[in-house]
Amino acid sequence: MTQKRRSVQRAAFTLIEVMIVLAIVLALAGLVGVALFQRRDQAKVQLTEVDLQRIMQAMDLFRFDFDRYPTDEEGVRVLWQKDLLDADADPEKYTEYLEKPLPDDRWGNEWGYRAESETREGKFDLWSNGPDGEEGTDDDITAWAAFDEDEGGGFDSPSGSP
């Protein structure tokens, strides 16, 4: 009977064994969670770059119709809101330039837009303030590097103000 009792006792896990397994599982889950959050942040930056590209394409379409980029007063929102169109502009030329409005970047901040570029003559400045929501920080995502043909286009994260 003692042998039977021993085999029954050996079939169960001790509390220490369960706690060790639980600690290992939690450690692995923590490592995976950290990696996923870092990847999510990178994905938001990349999606913001895609959104900037879509807005830039819509800006070019707007320019083809009106022979100018939107004014500072019209801003980016004129690409999907006709009522923001300048009173001097011909409303008959207007079409909706973006199927889906993009009023904010991926962090809920309004897009930065300047009709007269400080970096490229005859162009506009368009940027996202990035994850921190503050203009002029290292995490800003700008579109003006896409105008630079010498560098082959692309996006830039400046250390200074847009």
Domain assignment present for residue 9? The answer is: no
Number of domains in the chain: 1
Domain assignment present for residue 102? The answer is: yes
pLDDT in tens, 66-88: 999 999 999 999 999 888 888 88
DSSP state letters, 53-117 = HHHHHHHHHHHHHHSSPPPTTTTGGGGT-GGGS-TTS-GGG---S-SS---B-TTSPBPEEESS-
Distance CA 103, CA 55 (A): 10
For residue 137, count other CB atoms closer than 10 A to its CB. 16
Distance CA 139, CA 112 (A): 14
Domain assignment present for residue 90? The answer is: yes
Domain assignment present for residue 51? The answer is: yes
The lowest-confidence range among 58-67, 69-78, 139-148 is: 139-148
Question: pTM for the full model?
Answer: 0.68
Residue-range definition of the domain harbouring residue 109:
15-147
Domain assignment present for residue 39? The answer is: yes
Domain assignment present for residue 4? The answer is: no
- Give the domain CATH number at 52: 3.30.700.10
Domain assignment present for residue 105? The answer is: yes
The neighbouring-strand residues paired with 110 are 104
